[in-house]
Structure 1
Amino acid sequence: MAIIITGSMLACNEASQTPASKETGKKGNKELTETIGKAKPTIKDGIMTPEILYSFGRVGSVEVSPDKSHILYQVTYVSIPQNKTNSELFIMKSDGSEKKQLTITNTQENNPQWIADGKKIAFLSNETGSSQIWTINPDGGGMKQISNVEGGIDGFKYSPDGKKVLFIKSVKTVETAAEKYPDLPDASGRIVDDLMYKHWDKWVESVPHPFVADLSGNKLSNIKDLLEGEPYEAPMAPFGGIEQLAWSPDGKTIAYTSRKKTGKEYTLSTNSDIYFYDVESGQTQNMTEGMMGYDVNPQFSPDGKYLAWQSMERDGYEADKNRLFVMDLATGEKTYVTEAFDYNTDDFVWNSDNRTIYMVSSVKGTTQLHTADIVTKEITPLTQGKYDYTSVALGNGKLIAKRQSMSQPAEIYSVDIASGQATEISFENKEILDRLRMGEVEERWITTTDGKEMLTWVVYPPDFDPKKSYPALLYCQGGPQSMVSQFWSYRWNLQMMAANGYIVVAPNRRGLPGFGQEWLEQISGDYGGQNMKDYLAAIDAVSKEPFVDENRLGCTGASYGGFSTYWLAGNHDGRFKAFLSHAGIFNLEAQYLETEEMFFANWDMGGPFWDKSNAIAQRTYANSPHKFIDRWDTPIMITHGEYDYRILASQGMMAFNAAQLRGIPSRMLIFPDENHWISKPQNGVLFQREFFRWFDEWLK
């Protein structure tokens, strides 16, 4: 349920079935709803609506078979009426032919992977109430449950020989009040003695641990916790998953990622490491000791002689350059492969030659595939174009990658390694896309106030007519260090904004990756500084066009983009006629003491507000949006989720209250059951409807 406030309201699968399926109707006393599958939305005049946006199938995990002949992948479908999603498994040949849906169930199937040399498929399913490992034949038959782990499994990998399973499970680390005082069984209070008691959208009462188990006759046995008795995360919450763990090719070693810190120490540091766990002896060794930033996502070379991983250099800087490192496991020698490459390594995969790595990197507004030679350290671009490649896997003489753009959700592509030519093979959303009219996406380079050239994406409405005059929206990116690339979003969808008759201006302002470290790092300690001038430079340049009505300009964004919206509301000199901020920081002093990851606040804000001798920090807090509330004179809408422990909902409530007390036309949309994002389908549609209702009121 969401609450809108305005001024007036201050107030069991059959093994033989192919594909695996489950009947609708009743099972015992439980009423089963219709299985959520591919949608067939009604499309009028080729224009995208929120309902159409939520009709797209969302392509997830992509796994290439051991012989490279087939591709296993996951698609998630959405039901607005049921207000939930459903993930299913599919298989096709590596050229995209002979597509087959493996599962049709009312449960979630995810984390699919090939096992038994491609003769079987393993995956996670919540068929029995918790997420457990199941297997199925590639023809869709023989579905069996393998694990029965209390509390469920969050991710897994079979060992190379198929005799063991590595999996992730939550381990309780906090004693509840009722456990501490058995005579108070209904006591709900949380007793807190240290920092890091909340994280993103959870109270920290458990942590993920890696476990290894023997696989005996389709059952798990001899289960061991790799961090037995240790209160640390592995992988690291909230975003780390099975990609932060890896088997060595000989199955004797498990590499895992962990930041072995808790409480205040954890909240002040980003220093994680890659650890090796000897499966036979149980001994653990820190392989990246002395490397002080994030070290994550280990991958062994096919011959087991090298380890590659992503590494940041500086402790406390979560947006530092994501470097590609390789270690010679015989000598311990480390090679900084991307030293001469001024961009991040976002994802990577080893080639079979044990020398080449294919990696995903964001460069100048798009995310492309690159080839890295670990000996010469030469980085070569492989693809180009107005696209984002978001994952990469090794096929048979090809790369298998997911690709998206502002005009298309993620699909699977086969990429020729020699030429970089990409061929779509999944076509999950072709039926919908063929009936939609997308607006043109233009690449513009705009001169900033300090003489730099800034890439700005401009998205035009479908059937754009340069003789007409359109309202425009300035899109402010979050992060703050997150490139405005050719992204596809189910909330901040720029084509959706364009479909509603708006020209969208999306600048890659200061503080974003993909334009070199100097451009990225300028924002730290300069909130409210040059990056805000960049925003104004972008909207000023585009609003000079004869087809833009400079009297109908709006501004919107989320997280740091929400902060930007609040800040611009007090510093826009009459440019904008309406604002909308989601999950934004309104009061920086309060944010410093409300947030959880203090390393982020210390690095980006410069330190605590009480340190009067810290000039950088004092400049930051002097630029807090709440300091400019006396200048607010423009209608503003605020949205926030109450499960947001990163930027508390109180930030949004403060902003709304301030606007109301100032007599500014304002509206607030509060989601009691959402976090920093909006994940529930009906809430997502509600957000879109209210977004355009608000801007249409003031700009049309």
Structure 2
Amino acid sequence: MTSSFDNIPAFVRSRRVAGLAAHRSGTVVATVSEPDEKGSAFITQLVRVEPTSTRYLTHGSESASLLAIGARGEVYFTRKDGKEEEKGAAVWMLPPSGEARVVLRRFEGVDSFTVTDTGIVVTASLMPSAELLSESDDLAKQRSEAKTNAVLYDSFPIRRWNEDCGPTVRHLYVAPLPELYGEDELELTEVDLPEAPEGVDEWKLGSVEASRDGTTLLLTMNARHDITSASQVWCIRESGEPVLVAADPELSYGIEAVAPDGSWALLGSYLPPRAGQVVDDGLLRYEIAIGKLMPLTDRFEESATGAVITDSGELFITANRVGRGGIYRLENGEGTLVTDDDEYAYSSLSYSAGQLVALRSSLAEPPGVVFIDPESGAVTETPSLTDDLELPGELTEISATALDGTQLRAWLAVPESDEPSPLVVFAHGGPWGSWNDWTWRWNPWPFVARGYAVLMPDPGISTGYGKKMVSRGHDALGNEPFTDIMVLADAAIARPDIDEARQGFAGGSYGGYMANWVAGHTGTRFKCIVTHAGLWDIETMSKATDNGEWYTWMMGELPTGGTQASLWSPHLSAQKIEAPMLVIHGDKDYRVPFNQALELWQDLQRLHPEAGNKFLYFPDEGHWILKPANAQIWYETFIAFLDEHLLGKSFERAGLLG
């Protein structure tokens, strides 16, 4: 049996749903990414979604980025403005009928855009020396014409994930609603931000949420000390003075949702990882009128991944759930599963015209838009916005018992075959994460289509299994997570449809760390190992990453003695590596910097030059391989490396590698 997974060039260019937003009045809009005519890039369009139909709202060769939906049915989005010759984005408004028009022109675009029943709330970044948007745009154009991107920094970080941090500073503005069918543009009025507390090295505006009537603004302010930061929440009502809502030097606070009537807001708290301190988060209720903050959950074990408050004041959240996901009604500190214990995960949760709206996916099904009855949990599927993908095998589940007695589980994708299949173990990233939903990267099915079984374990430090599971391995990343994976791999090869003699191991990010750790601790059990964006030397990584929290965690003294860097760094076992490795890394990866791949590669070439190691380098990619041609090369090279060492084939270089 064949499927589109056999055709990697077509698979990586599959049409896919990228995002979703909804308004309480009933308008639901999805963002859909599809390849351009050359297949060299994706173009994102906006699509109106109803239970029985879909309709494209934007067209053409320029991507549209959804910003917000208004109560009048208007849709706001950004798209390149044809009047800007080199770059620049404009904010467009598409009324319920008629043509879209520009309501705000900015060379540097906007950072965020929120629509209330009475106005617009905008955040936009300005050059440090500029006081007005126009002044900042002029400076940005001068820099563009001079062909310079130089930045003088005076704080940390200087880059984030895949992008360099610019020299700009975020400002907050409000404006009246534009006329639906007029020609007016937004007239922005700046809102004064809270003053920085004493002793703060850097003070910046983060996110902004607004009540539906526009009378209340909630904002996060990021307070940085040295290389670590903590976010505070502030409230501005009726254009008054900012009032501090939540602040703690050890915690970061965020805004999860605001009640439609503006009476209360849902806040999230986050305790960052430290040596001897497990990462933790929680939910709080802020009564806006009286300024009271109180904990909201005390018996719900999982972390919310999304939240929405309905018109009646009910709170619904999405959360990971034992290798799946779910939508929960949160009430009196407890969560009740609404989605009837199904096999899916949910994201982009919204509320529209009395129904919940979300993206739903699983490891066997790409994301699609669904409507959910909040009372019965009944799910209504909408017409598909993705290409048809026929699975080339079966998704099943396995379980095992960890060395400490903890019950473990994993997904196993197996091909249709009369013979035992070679096994590839995929370690997930994070390290806080779970194999529970669809991914276009690290998708198991192109491998299954070529005869491989793929094991996707959720070991210690995985989410969706309660806080105790998250704590397992927190201070020993190469201990419980590693032994858990090995126990699950043992359970997989005990099956008659898996070939024990042909095993490979792979992972990205934290999964890349695990691949590197496995390489130095399993001898020749795994015939080959693929490590993508993996941590190799924890100490040098912690000093080069964009995430200052990692340094304090990885280099902090553990209660039992030593540090993660001194005890659990893969590079300490470089001499013991026996299996050939494929190293993959993007030069623009700032979370796990490129120096990790260079250090690993030098060690492999110095210590094991005859092992058949390979290095796949992407000069124009970051932590994730996103461009279609690069994603094609990633899959083709990955599979060719497996074929060489697990099937005995000659290594076949991807055609686009020349």
| Bin of the TM-score, shorter chain as denominator length | 0.7 to 0.9
Q: Select 1:101's aligned residue among 56, 72, 93.
A: 56
Structure 1 residues 130, 229: CA separation in 2 closer, same or farther (over 3 Å shift)? farther
**Percentage of matched positions with identical amino acids:** 22
Structure 1 residues 341, 165: CA separation in 2 closer, same or farther (over 3 Å shift)? same
Cα RMSD, aligned residues only: 2.8
Deviations along 1:450-487, one digit per CA (max 9) or x if unpaired, are 221111111112xx23x4111110111111111222x2
1:367 aligns to 2:325 (yes or no): yes
Q: Please list, as runs of the form range in 1=range in 2, the aligned pairs for 1:566-645 lying within 5 A after superposition.
A: 566-603=516-553, 605=554, 607=556, 615-618=560-563, 620-645=565-590
Per the alignment, in what secondary structure is the counterpart of residue 132 of structure 1?
strand
How far apart are residue 87 of structure 1 and its match? Answer: 1.0
Query: What is the count of residue pairs matched by the alignment?
Result: 617
Q: Select 1:328's aligned residue among 287, 293, 299.
A: 287
Contact 2:21 2:348 in 1 (8 A): no
In structure 2, the residue matched to 1:126 is 80
In structure 1, the residue matched to 2:219 is 256
How far apart are residue 438 of structure 1 and its match? Answer: 3.9
Structure 1 residues 223, 245: CA separation in 2 closer, same or farther (over 3 Å shift)? same
Q: Please list, as runs of the form range in 1=range in 2, the aligned pairs for 1:168-317 lying within 5 A after superposition.
A: 168-173=123-128, 194-207=155-168, 209-215=170-176, 218-224=184-190, 226-227=192-193, 232-235=203-206, 244-261=207-224, 265=225, 267-269=227-229, 271-278=230-237, 280-281=239-240, 283-290=241-248, 292-313=250-271
In structure 2, the residue matched to 1:416 is 373
CA distance in 1, matches of 2:22, 2:166: 37
Per the alignment, in what secondary structure is the counterpart of residue 656 of structure 1?
helix
How far apart are residue 204 of structure 1 and its match? Answer: 2.8
CA distance in 2, matches of 1:49, 1:229: 56
How far apart are residue 197 of structure 1 and its match? Answer: 2.5
Structure 1 residues 693, 64: CA separation in 2 closer, same or farther (over 3 Å shift)? same
CA distance in 1, matches of 2:111, 2:6: 35
Q: Please list, as runs of the form range in 1=range in 2, the aligned pairs for 1:432-471 lying within 5 A after superposition.
A: 432-433=388-389, 436-461=390-415, 464-465=416-417, 467-471=418-422
CA distance in 2, matches of 1:365, 1:696: 29
Contact 1:444 1:455 in 2 (8 A): yes
Contact 2:2 2:449 in 1 (8 A): no
**Aligned letter for 2:615?**
M
Deviations along 1:248-271, one digit per CA (max 9) or x if unpaired, are 23312211122122xxx15223x2
In structure 2, the residue matched to 1:491 is 441
Structure 1 residues 260, 171: CA separation in 2 closer, same or farther (over 3 Å shift)? farther
Per the alignment, in what secondary structure is the counterpart of residue 304 of structure 2?
coil
TM-score, normalised via structure 1 length: 0.82
Q: Please list, as runs of the form range in 1=range in 2, the aligned pairs for 1:43-58 lying within 5 A after superposition.
A: 45=3, 47-58=5-16
Q: Please list, as runs of the form range in 1=range in 2, the aligned pairs for 1:318-357 lying within 5 A after superposition.
A: 320-354=279-313, 356-357=314-315
In structure 2, the residue matched to 1:117 is 72
In structure 2, the residue matched to 1:546 is 496
In structure 1, the residue matched to 2:599 is 654
Deviates more, 1:332-341 or 1:546-555: 332-341
How far apart are residue 65 of structure 1 and its match? Answer: 4.4
How far apart are residue 595 of structure 1 and its match? Answer: 1.6
CA distance in 2, matches of 1:297, 1:137: 29
How far apart are residue 679 of structure 1 and its match? Answer: 1.6
Contact 1:592 1:601 in 2 (8 A): yes
Structure 2: stretches of 5+ with no match in the other structure: 131-138, 197-201, 648-658
CA distance in 2, matches of 1:44, 1:127: 44
Deviations along 1:196-252, one digit per CA (max 9) or x if unpaired, are 2233233333356242132466312243154499764432xxxxxxxx421123312
CA distance in 2, matches of 1:648, 1:366: 31
Contact 2:529 2:579 in 1 (8 A): yes
CA distance in 2, matches of 1:368, 1:690: 35
Contact 2:80 2:89 in 1 (8 A): yes
Contact 1:80 1:681 in 2 (8 A): no
How far apart are residue 406 of structure 1 and its match? Answer: 1.0
**Aligned letter for 1:469?**
P
In structure 1, the residue matched to 2:424 is 473
Structure 1 residues 526, 481: CA separation in 2 closer, same or farther (over 3 Å shift)? same
Contact 1:292 1:315 in 2 (8 A): no
How far apart are residue 142 of structure 1 and its match? Answer: 1.9
How far apart are residue 316 of structure 1 and its match? Answer: 6.0
CA distance in 2, matches of 1:122, 1:187: 31
Q: Select 1:560's aligned residue among 510, 514, 534.
A: 510
CA distance in 1, matches of 2:380, 2:392: 21
Structure 1 residues 130, 279: CA separation in 2 closer, same or farther (over 3 Å shift)? farther
Q: Select 2:333's aligned residue among 362, 370, 377.
A: 377
Structure 1 residues 206, 186: CA separation in 2 closer, same or farther (over 3 Å shift)? closer
CA distance in 2, matches of 1:314, 1:639: 28
Deviations along 1:615-643, one digit per CA (max 9) or x if unpaired, are 54435423211111111111100010111
Structure 1 residues 56, 279: CA separation in 2 closer, same or farther (over 3 Å shift)? farther
CA distance in 1, matches of 2:191, 2:274: 29
In structure 2, the residue matched to 1:40 is none
Contact 1:295 1:309 in 2 (8 A): yes
CA distance in 2, matches of 1:65, 1:284: 28
Deviations along 1:526-564, one digit per CA (max 9) or x if unpaired, are 021111111111111111222211221000001111111
Per the alignment, in what secondary structure is the counterpart of residue 535 of structure 1?
helix
In structure 1, the residue matched to 2:134 is none
Deviations along 1:573-624, one digit per CA (max 9) or x if unpaired, are 3210000000001111211222232222322x251xxx6x975443542321
Contact 2:67 2:112 in 1 (8 A): no
